[in-house]
Each structure stands twice: as structure tokens, then as C-alpha cells.
Amino acid sequence: MSDYWSDYWKAGHLSSFAQSNQDNYSGEIASFWQEFLRNHNLPHCNIVDIGSGNGALIDLALNNFKYSQPNYIGVDTAKLSIPKHLSQENVRFHQNTRAESLPFDSSTIDVAISQFGFEYTNMDKALKELSRSVKSGGEVCFVMHHKDSVIVKPNALIRKAVDEVMIKNGPFDVMSMFVNAIHKFGKNNPTAEKYRHSLNSQIQQLSRANKFGLYGTGFPDLLKDTMSSSSIDFKSRKSKLKSFRSEMKTLAQRLDNLLSVALDNDRMDSLSVSMSELGFTNVTHSRLHHGDELLGVSIKANLA
């Protein structure tokens, strides 16, 4: 599962929802963490970030909020590519490490945090590990995906469109046949024309039904990049098609994973129950909004 995350982090992203490599969380998510972490900006405070990725949360704490006193420890199953500015004495990362089996002695952690990471773990096992590692009186706080959020809902549309584009004899297959026919018979011959018409009509249909999802797959860009100029040769076209197929496979895996881990209200409730059973107290939920839009849900608790 974490292979695509290793590839993602290797590409140099700082956070999991980034337009550019340097992008970090801002707005309500950043404010939420600024407020929560303020009380823990203390010397010798051990803060563990579960599913840390390349250290977005730790970067926010240290470099945006200037909370420089704690020790920050990132834990992630993926192979990471930590930015140089996080190579500091009080920061360390455990890569290839599962939250379900933490490399810490019992009762040595003051605070466990997670931003869109904890829900990817086997939560019961990870909670059990945290109830062992976190000190009595310590605190946990996770921000997680919710099925109704503005992040998850559009991704469900993109996931649907991936299947619609890649279905047998669907747009991707017809485009491949179109490329082969141009190569074999020339641009305006009847076979190539037949595929061109079929491709156009499939794209129009898909665009009417799920335009957002279709554009989210990148298929319209592939079409434009590959077919708009006759100077692109057959080999380059085939190579673009091959890369696109593999990108769609990874995208489908990543989105299936996102959609399956995102919580709904029932799962939030059962998470609270599991936490109480493991000795966590003061369990509270909240919803993070940007205006009317749901960004995610948070759960906080103390260890008795």
C-alpha cells in the first residue's frame, strides 16, 4: 500500500495535498494545529506524528509557528524524502515503520498527532500501541478525512471517471486504436476517422455526465498533448499512452485507499468507543470547516 506513497514522497512533496512541492497546509487546518500545539511547546516534550509523510505537520510547528522546544518524531510506513530544512537536532523520522508497532518504550511519548494519517492505519491496533507508548496524562489529536469533505467528495468523482476512461473499448482504448490506425493507414483514412468520431462522442458523453471527474483524470490533457500536433511521432504517442495507463493504475489505488479510509459519523462514534475502552478519557470530536465546506474531522483525547 505504501509504495505509491514512497513514490509520492520521493517526488519531493512536503504535504499530501499540494499543488507544488513547497506547499503546506494553510487556513483552518494550520490554525487548528497552531492552537493545539501551542500548549505543547515545552522542552523535552516528545511529540509523535503518525503517518507523517515528509513532515508537513512538523514543518508547520517548527517553521511557521516557531514551536521549537519539543522533540518531533515522524512515523510512516513509506520511504520518505525529508527536506533539508527539517534536519534538526530535535527532529527525527522513523521510515518504513508502522503505527501498529511503534519503536518506542512504554510511556515515553507526551503527545501523538496526525494529519490525514491515522485513518490509514489499522486504527484499533494503532490505538493500542499509542495507549502503551503515550504517558499517563498525555494527549492524542488526529485530523482525519471524512466522506463528506470537500477533499474526499471530488476525489470520488475522479475515481469514477478513471474507470469510465479505462473501461474496455472506452476512451483510452479507442484513442490507442486511433493512434495505431493513423500510423498504419494515414491520418484521414476511414478507419482512423471511425476511431476519431467514436472517441469524440465518448468524450462528449463523459464530459456531460462527469466533467469534473474526467478532467481530474488528465485524459483531456493527454489527448491534447498527444494528438494536437502532427509533429508528434508514433513512438512518442505510444509512450505517452503507456505512461498514462500506469498513472491511472496508481491513481485508482490511491483514490480507492482514500475513499475506504475516510470516516463517516458512525466510524467516528466507534473510534471514540474504542478509545474509551483503551483508557483514553475526555474524547472529543470536532469538524473542521472552511465556511460551509467540511475539510475533515478531528478527535482529541487524553490517556488516563
Residue 296 near ligand SAM by CB under 6 A: no
Q: x/- binding map, residues 56-75, to ligand SAM, per CB under 6 A?
A: xx-----------------x
Question: Using CA atoms, how far apart are residues 221 and 234, in angstroms rounded to an integer?
Answer: 18
User: Which grid coordinates are listed for 247?
Assistant: 498513472
C-alpha to C-alpha distances, 27 to 24, 67, 184, 272, 295, nearest whole angstrom: 10, 18, 54, 27, 11
What's the Rg (C-alpha) of the chain?
23
Provide, rounded to whole angstroms, the least separation between the CB of residue 222 and ligand SAM: 25
C-alpha to C-alpha distances, 35 to 217, 289, 296, nearest whole angstrom: 36, 15, 17
Provide, rounded to whole angstroms, the least separation between the CB of residue 196 and ligand SAM: 40
Nearer to ligand SAM, 142 or 280 (CB): 142
Q: x/- binding map, residues 3-22, to ligand SAM, per CB under 6 A?
A: --x---------xx------
Residue 115 near ligand SAM by CB under 6 A: yes
Which residues, including other chains, have CB under 8 Å from residue 242's CB and lie 6 or more apart?
A: none
Which residues, including other chains, have CB under 8 Å from residue 84's CB and lie 6 or more apart?
A: none
Nearer to ligand SAM, 144 or 203 (CB): 144
Nearer to ligand SAM, 123 or 179 (CB): 123
What's the distance, CA 185 to chain centroid? 44
3-class secondary structure, 99: coil
Of 33, 46, 47, 51, the one binding ligand SAM by CB under 6 A: 51
Residue 226 near ligand SAM by CB under 6 A: no
Residue 195 near ligand SAM by CB under 6 A: no
Of 62, 67, 77, 178, the one binding ligand SAM by CB under 6 A: 77
Give the footprint of ligand SAM on this chain (CB under 6 A).
2, 5, 15-16, 50-53, 56-57, 75-78, 98-100, 115-117, 120-121
